[in-house]
């Protein structure tokens, strides 16, 4: 009901936006600076700042939900390439397996990216690859490959990212955000 759910008063804001306490409507209401309505709890003394700080930290840490049997967040795992494997230009596309079923319609350009970096330091020189696609091999559990346009399959360092955090997360088939996933890999020149 809270995590990634739109606020009723301001639907463009999430009640809790994992990783972003300042844009989480819950924090805005608890701290008394929301654009709509009064400080919560309404008609009572505000929560102590120490309590609000605990809630802020929970959100900053990704707003992990309680887990139990059947409630564990869905994770993604790399099938190809294997650890430390370097792909050649004509090698199969990276293959990723989920621990359950993904809601494929939740995947879009804001939570799925493929980047290339000449240096391998993605914080310095990452270039987003346009036109990368997911090719589903199995739906439950979801297994898919990530295909790059032929013109973009050039030697270099790559990183595939699917985000379960943020305002528009990748979701599992039950509508829960997945665990963030990142796969760095390298494509060498033509053998």
The pLDDT tens digits for 76-123 are 998 888 777 888 877 888 999 998 899 999 999 999 999 999 888 999
Structural domains in the chain, CATH included, are 1-64 (no CATH), 76-187 (2.60.40)
pLDDT of residue 68: 47
pLDDT one-digit tens code per residue, 127-157 = 999 999 999 988 888 999 999 998 888 889 9
Place 70 in a pLDDT band, splitting at 50, 70 and 90.
Answer: low
Q: How much of the chain exceeds pLDDT 90, in percent?
A: 45
- H or E element at residue 55: helix 49-60
Lowest mean pLDDT among 60-64, 139-143, 176-180: 60-64
- How far apart CA 179 and CA 164 sit, in angstroms, is 5
- The secondary structure of residue 135, as a DSSP letter, is E
pLDDT of residue 103: 93
Residue 97 bridge partners (DSSP): 77, 143
Token representation of residue 170:
């990748």
- How far apart CA 130 and CA 109 sit, in angstroms, is 9
Give the alpha-carbon dihedral of 60, 24, 160, 128, to 10 degrees: -120
Bigger pLDDT: 58 vs 131: 131
């Amino acid at each position: 009901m809270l995590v990634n759910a739109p606020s009723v008063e301001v639907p463009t804001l999430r009640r809790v936006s994992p990783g972003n306490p300042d844009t989480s409507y819950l924090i805005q209401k608890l701290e008394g600076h929301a654009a709509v309505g009064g400080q919560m709890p309404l008609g009572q003394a505000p929560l102590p700042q120490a309590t609000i700080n605990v809630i802020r930290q929970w959100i900053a840490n990704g707003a992990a939900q309680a887990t139990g049997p059947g409630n564990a967040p869905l994770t993604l795992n790399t099938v190809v390439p294997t650890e430390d494997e370097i792909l050649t230009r004509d090698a199969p596309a990276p293959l990723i397996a989920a621990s359950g079923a993904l809601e494929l319609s939740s995947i879009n350009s804001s939570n799925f990216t493929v980047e290339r970096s000449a240096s391998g330091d993605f914080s310095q020189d990452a270039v987003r690859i346009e036109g990368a696609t997911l090719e589903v091999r199995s739906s439950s559990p979801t297994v898919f490959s990530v295909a790059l346009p032929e013109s973009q399959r050039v030697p270099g360092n790559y990183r595939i990212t699917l985000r379960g955090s943020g305002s528009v997360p990748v979701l599992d088939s039950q509508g829960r955000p997945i665990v963030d996933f990142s796969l760095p890999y390298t494509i060498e020149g033509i053998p």
